[in-house]
Amino acid sequence: MNLARAFMTRSKLLVAAALVAALAAGVVMAPQGADAQQATGRVRIMHASPDTPPVDIFVDGQKAVTALAFPNTTGYVALPAGGHDVKVFVSPSDGTGTPALQATLEVVAGKDVTVLATGRVGDGSLALTIFEDDNGTPSGNNAHIRLIHASPDAPPVNVAVAGTDTNVFTGVAFRNVSPYVPVPAGTYSLDVKVNATGETVLTIPNLKLDARTVYTAVAVGLAGNGTLRVVPLVDAPAPAAPAPPRTGDSMTAGSGTLAPWMLAAGLALAAASGGLAFAARRSR
């Protein structure tokens, strides 16, 4: 091998080794899943207006929900952080014309929100009401539960353990939400009472609350015509139990040992180094 050919071979091997090293560095520096998820927030929508027909919901000009009827709720949907144009039309709709509701929804990275259509279309009080959610896992054997008051003609209410004066929520008014309350897991019967008089207007029987689960109870319907009721929503189920540790599998991504891509990169670098040494010997 002449000197020029040896130099070219050595240069190619150096470039190959540099590319392998750059690839390994790129894997190390690439954003991980948690970082990517922080660019979005999650939104769910509930139809809580008792006299409004099913609706179609458009987000940034695209239909996101079709024929959502009272008192149903969508699941959480991830949206990019930032402002989004939300329009609500009576279903069926192609998104043209004058919407029944329109608002700008500000999505915050890493946050969950619940959006309710509240009020009545008949009296012009229909509006979108937004609540920030806290879906962190409750500790120990507890569940977390809160109350959203979405009944347009009901006064502020208390919610107590049935047959007692022990309030779980106190003085929650229309379009307001209580704080989250930690409650030991179990099955409960609850009384909804008028805050001002203590009169029981509704009983919620056999409400089952699971450990480490987050709930929202939404009061919907009308007190005046006897349709007042509470709809329980599961916001965040208990996380799955962690899988048992695996034996004999130490080279896994995220462990303190070499991950497979690191091992492959090391072998490639070793091969490139060996090739360089061989080329150097041939060139002498």
- pLDDT tens digit sequence for 191-210: 999 999 999 999 999 999 99
Instruction: Note the pLDDT of residue 268.
Output: 43
Flag whether 242 is in a domain. no
Percent over 90 (pLDDT), the chain: 69
Instruction: Note the pLDDT of residue 58.
Output: 97
Flag whether 78 is in a domain. no
Do 208 and 264 reside in the same domain of the chain? no
- Look up the domain containing 10 and give its range: 3-28+258-283
Instruction: Note the pLDDT of residue 25.
Output: 39
Do 189 and 276 reside in the same domain of the chain? no
Flag whether 80 is in a domain. no
pLDDT > 90? residue 280 = no
Q: Going by C-beta distance under 8 Å and a sequence separation of 6 or more, which residues neighbour residue 135?
A: 112, 214, 235, 236
Flag whether 233 is in a domain. yes
Do 265 and 209 reside in the same domain of the chain? no
Please calculate the CA angle 229-131-100 and round it to the nearest 5 degrees. Answer: 75
Instruction: Note the pLDDT of residue 247.
Output: 60
Flag whether 172 is in a domain. yes
pLDDT > 70? residue 218 = yes
Q: What is the CATH number of the domain that holds 226?
A: 2.60.40
Task: Give the residue, 90 or 163, on which the prediction is more confident.
Answer: 90
Flag whether 16 is in a domain. yes
SS3 (DSSP) at 111: coil
pLDDT > 80? residue 243 = no
pLDDT > 90? residue 266 = no
- pLDDT tens digit sequence for 146-172: 999 999 999 999 999 998 889 999 999
CA dihedral 56, 58, 59, 62 (to 10 degrees): 120
Do 208 and 268 reside in the same domain of the chain? no
> How many whole angstroms from its chain centre is CA 1?
64
Report, as an integer, the average pLDDT of 213-236.
97
Reading the block at residue 250, the tokens are 């130490």
Residue 64 DSSP label:
E
Flag whether 76 is in a domain. no
Flag whether 47 is in a domain. no
